[in-house]
Structure 1
Amino acid sequence: MTTHPDELAGRVLSTTQHPWRFALLVMLALELVLLVCLGAARLFLPNVPLIALDLPILLLNAIFAALLLTRLGWWRAAGFRALQRPRDLILLALPVALLIVPALVVGVDVPPFGKALALLVVTLLIAFQEEAIFRGVILHGLAPLGTLHAVLGSALLFGVIHANSLLVGRDPAFVAVQVIGSILGGVGSAALRLRFGSIWPLIALHTLNDFIQFSASQGLAVEQASPVLLIAKLGISSLMALYGFFLLRGTEMRMWPVSAQSAAAP
């Protein structure tokens, strides 16, 4: 059954009239995916460690993000389009330096090829689903609130969702830093997303960040994070927040036109 373009445009307009309700419903859907997966694992796979559910949950979240973007017709609005000004990539110089320089100083070991390849696939999946949802769907959905409110709102929700790591057995200290760091880093990421007009550079940056982080912690579990890793994460995230506020100067939040034509074409 095909949705009429006018009906789809009306649905998109309805979400923008209640930005916070829309954003919280998206968060609720993510929580339901997680809780259903954890509940099913407890019931049918009691001997499987919960941390092993990371990949299935990531896949489900990625599918959810793709379905939501398709249903709303927001692929282009969420930033899945070509970079309009390639010279803007220079804005990634500072974030990339903030990730690579500390890694070189601390001496993060690159995993063996097979493990590195698997880690790259997982971090790409993490980056796609988190950027699509938070710097794509939620940031765009909060746009009617204004630039600063949309950026701060998406960053806050991005941090809150990371508290779920406690449910799969990650180190509480690491999770606390992860929540705070994600809020701070989310400000910088959202600002970059607005400056680029494209989400692809953010997916690449997010992948690099997680690849370095998980390489430093020797895997995804992070049962006990080192103090150096926690301090580095907070420091980098704080600098990213400051960088984000700097980039937001004079940056306007432009809504993608909500019309029958734009809503119908992903």
Structure 2
Amino acid sequence: MSIQISNPSFSKRRPVLAVIIIEVLLLLAVFAAGAYATIKELDYTAPVLISFIPIALVLIIYLTWKRKWSQMGFQSLREIPKNNWLYYLPLVVILVVLSFNGFRNVTVSEVLFFIFFTLLVGFVEETLYRGLILRTLLAKSVTAAVVTSSILFSVTHLLNLLSGQNTNQTILQIIYALVMGVALALLIVKNNNIIPLILFHFLHNLIQFLSIKNEKNSVLGYDILIIVILVMYCVWLLMSLKNRNVQPQINKESSLV
């Protein structure tokens, strides 16, 4: 009786090329949406909505068709070891710090819109960067996966210039996103669960959109404090992962990527 051996997927055979294709397609989609929104003089949220809604639908269809939801980290929160819940505490601190800016007056319809908008962004960006890209690069190494996915995540924020954001804001946001990307990538390596990351990403962006800071257009202060917290957070996660007595949860399914 002959044994049939299935061929490895393209992402397993050429992980770097697969990641390049994913990133290029994402950048092209957002750039094209930004150009269209600029020509049509649409709202600053239009480029993300126009590009991310189709991307979200594609991701949902792909993960369902390939049955990869659990492999991307969409697992029950009960799967997280009780002792590892402590590592989410800095994310709560960051949300509290963001809230210190205060909130502006908004209508119910605006709140509902921003909830949809930030959930969309949280789902798409976490699924792409801490899901597909990070897990594809695990074929190289955990270090390559964490570093590369974080750099790509930060570089993508250059496209915020298309929404009219000034250069100084964009540079700070790139640094912010880079450190944030490293922290979240290390966290999913630690706990192998993407749901808390999506929830954090969603709440983080929602607070920022509803914050008075958006009206005052200030970029320093609390943002720098959060960057410092994130750097310390990354060090803490790295130390915990280097502990020989602690086995990264993502290693349990790394062969599935």
TM over 0.5: yes
Counterparts of 1:151-170 in structure 2 under 5 Å? 151-170=146-165
Aligned partner of 1:198: which letter? Answer: N
Q: Which residue of 2 aligns with 1:177?
A: 172
Structure 1 partner of 2:133: 138
Q: Structure 2: 5+ residue runs without aligned partners?
A: none
Task: In structure 1, list runs of 5 or more residues that go unmatched.
Answer: none
Distance 1:89 1:110, change over 3 A: farther
Q: What CA RMSD, in Å, does the superposition of the two structures yield over aligned residues?
A: 2.9
TM score, norm. by length of structure 2:
0.82
1:212-251 superposed matches below 5 A: 212-216=207-211, 225-226=217-218, 229-248=219-238, 249-250=241-242
The 8 Å contact of residues 185 and 238 in structure 1, kept in 2 or not, is answered as no
Offset at 1:68?
Answer: 4.5
Q: CA deviation at 1:119?
A: 1.1
Matching residue's letter, 1:189: L
1:187 corresponds to which residue? Answer: 182
Aligned pairs for 1:69-148 (under 5 A) are 69-70=63-64, 73-83=67-77, 84-85=79-80, 87=82, 88-104=84-100, 106-109=101-104, 111-148=106-143
Q: Report the TM-score, using the length of structure 1 for normalisation.
A: 0.79
* Cα separation, 1, equivalents of 2:225 and 2:117: 25
- CA displacement, residues 174-213 of structure 1 (integer Å, 9 cap, x when unaligned): 1111111101010111111122211000011111110111
Q: Distance in 2 between matches of 1:187 and 1:110?
A: 33
CA contact (8 A) 1:135 1:154 kept: yes
- Give distance in 2, aligned partners of 1:116 and 1:160: 28
C-alpha distance 68-172 of structure 1, shift in aligned 2 (>3 A): farther
Structure 1: distance between partners of 2:93 and 2:254? 36
How many residues were matched structurally?
245
Residue 170 of structure 1 aligns to a residue whose secondary structure is coil
Which region of structure 1 is more displaced relative to structure 2, 181-190 or 32-41?
32-41
Cα pair 2:52 2:124 within 8 Å, conserved: yes
Q: Letter of the 2:73 partner, please give it.
A: G
Cα distance, 1:137 vs structure 2: 0.4
Name the stretch that deviates more: 89-98 or 31-40: 31-40
Match of 1:62 among 56, 59, 67: 56
Distance 1:199 1:71 in 2: 19
1:58–1:209 CA distance, 2 compared to 1 (3 A): same
Give the whole-Å Cα distance in 2 for the aligned partners of 1:19 and 1:166. Answer: 30
Counterpart contact for 1:103–1:212, Cα < 8 Å: yes
* Contact kept? 2:151, 2:178, Cα under 8 Å: yes
